[in-house]
Structure 1
Amino acid sequence: MASLDKPSVGTSTVKWRFPDIHPEGRKYVLIAGAIALVSLFVWDFITWPLVFLTLGVAAFFRDPVRVTPQGEGLIVSPADGLITMIERVDLPPELAGPQALGEGSMLRVSVFMSVFDVHINRTPITGTIRHVIYIAGKFMNADFDKASEENERQHIIVEDKNGQRIGFTQIAGLVARRIVSFVKAGDMVVGGQRVGLIRFGSRVDVFIPEAYGVEVALGQRAIAGETILARKGAPRAAGIAQ
């Protein structure tokens, strides 16, 4: 099991520091930096643009520490970004059935990640990974509703100790070209633990069970591993067909 991001206990002063770069992205930072260095001796007029590109790649793969809320019945956001859709939809075929999330429709909360957002994705609950289902597809704008059916995507189902299953889907976008998974079926995960990333702009859909009330609103910004998307037993928000 991966190490957790936990707050320190004690009297020490907490200081801000630059976020780490995730290992998955370090090779891209090195490649961009090497090209910028070579350009200094060959095409010096593009050196500064390449330096800024290198800094941009480093920022894209940043991996900040997160402190996940503790407690029963919480679903936290698996992604940084903007809440762009909260609506009831039919379950994707890969998430339907008795061995998955059941039949019929569920409330879906969509978090859109721009290229400026952190792209490390985290599990919304503590439990066991039951399914990791990858599907090849297109690379249309992830903000389009039909991207959930046609784009490259990966479904993940996590089951908690009480048997409650939560499904979420990583969707590649117009610029994103690869979904990278850090987990597999059978792995134990703790709420807020890193489970994967999507390179360069994308979306994550979370399917909310009937017993949960959504606690975010359209246009709100979510922080992966910290923002509570839904809470078990919470009142259902007015204006949302839950």
Structure 2
Amino acid sequence: MPLHREGRATVTIFITLTIVALLLAYLSNVLFAIMAIVLALLLIFVAYFFRTSRRHAPHDALAISSPCDGTVVTVERVREPEIFENQERLQISVFMSVWNVHMNWYPCSGTVSYSRHHRGKYLVAWLPKSSTENERSSVVITHTSGERILIRQVAGAVARRIVTYASEGRDVTGGQELGFIKFGSRVDVYLPLDAEVLVNVGDRVRGVETALARLR
């Protein structure tokens, strides 16, 4: 189970703390042994959380893949103010629990035409207003068809750091890594209204391998 680069520092800290607790347990008393056990369990969880996963992108150039693993929590028409000037778009949101792989991927191929990070609140990620009020990163991909696809990484009540690798002007490929969100969050995808939706609320999806929608 390969470790993601974003987790190396955190895992190193837990390894160090566990070793120190074991040494203190050997030299001192049983309380440090209990501490070492707790730290070792946390180390296992953290290493599991920061795991990586290889994915294979679909060959359909018009397919919009899920940018992350998780559960679909929103499929609705909304007005999007940041990029589309309150015009209606089709929003599909995927919520990631702490048990999901937290890598994020580009849902389609194209060129990064916009990338911004916004500070904000840390509301629970499945609330609709978290998309506009929480800390978030917005990335727009100009699809090879000319359509603009907005991907928004949204921090949750537990997530405290969003990592985005996008840079404006860069050509990207669907399935290429977009970023990472630490400890629970969601990712929103905004599509043209005529896109063919392929998922329903409650569906479990796999990043890259599950198509959320298809452009017409």
TM-score greater than 0.5 by the shorter chain: yes
The one-letter code sitting in structure 2 at the alignment partner of 1:147 is S
Separation in 2 of the partners of 1:181 and 1:129?
Answer: 12
Q: Which of 105, 130, 141 lines up with 2:113 in the alignment? A: 130
Residue type at the aligned position of 2:65: V
Structure 1 unmatched ranges of 5 or more: 1-17, 98-102, 234-242
Note the C-alpha offset of 1:161.
Answer: 2.3
Question: How many pairs are equivalent?
Answer: 209
Shift of 1:41: 2.1
Question: Which of residues 69, 79, 86 is equivalent to 1:90?
Answer: 79
- Shifted more, 120-129 versus 157-166: the winner is 157-166
Identity of aligned residues (%): 41
CA contact (8 A) 1:94 1:133 kept: no
- 1:68, CA displacement in angstroms? 0.9
Alignment pair present for 1:211 and 2:194: yes
Matching residue of 1:21: 3
Aligned Cα root-mean-square deviation (Å): 1.1
CA distance in 1 between counterparts of 2:215 and 2:159 reads 33
Cα pair 2:93 2:187 within 8 Å, conserved: yes
SS at match of 2:212: strand
Alignment partners' CA distance in 2, 1:196 and 1:95 = 20
Q: Deviations over 1:121-158 (max 9, x none)?
A: 00010011110011100111111111111100011100
1:78 alignment partner in structure 2: 67
TM-score (norm 2): 0.93
Output one character per residue of 1:85-124: Cα deviation in whole Å (capped at 9) or x when no partner: 1111111x22224xxxxx5111111100011111110001
Give the Cα–Cα distance (whole angstroms) in 1 for the partners of residues 61 and 42 of structure 2: 43
Kindly report which structure 2 residues correspond to 1:160-239, keeping only aligned pairs within 5 A, or say none: 160-233=143-216
Equivalent position to 1:31, from 6, 10, 13: 13
2:61, 2:108 within 8 Å by CA — same for their partners in 1? Answer: no
User: TM-score if structure 1 supplies the norm length?
Assistant: 0.83
Mapped partners of 1:105, 1:209: distance in 2 = 8
Aligned equivalents of 1:87, 1:165: Cα separation in 2: 18
Residue 22 of structure 1 and its aligned partner are, at CA, apart by: 1.1
- Deviation beyond 4 Å, 4+ runs, structure 1: none
| Contact kept in structure 1, 2:68 and 2:102, CA below 8 Å | yes
> What is the alpha-carbon distance in structure 2 between the residues aligned to residue 64 and residue 161 of structure 1?
26
**Where in structure 2 are there 5+ consecutive unaligned residues?**
25-31
Kindly state the Cα deviation for residue 160 of structure 1 after the two structures are TM-superposed.
2.0
8 A contact 1:171–1:202 mirrored in 2: yes
- The separation in 2 between residues aligned to 1:44 and 1:50, in whole angstroms, is 10
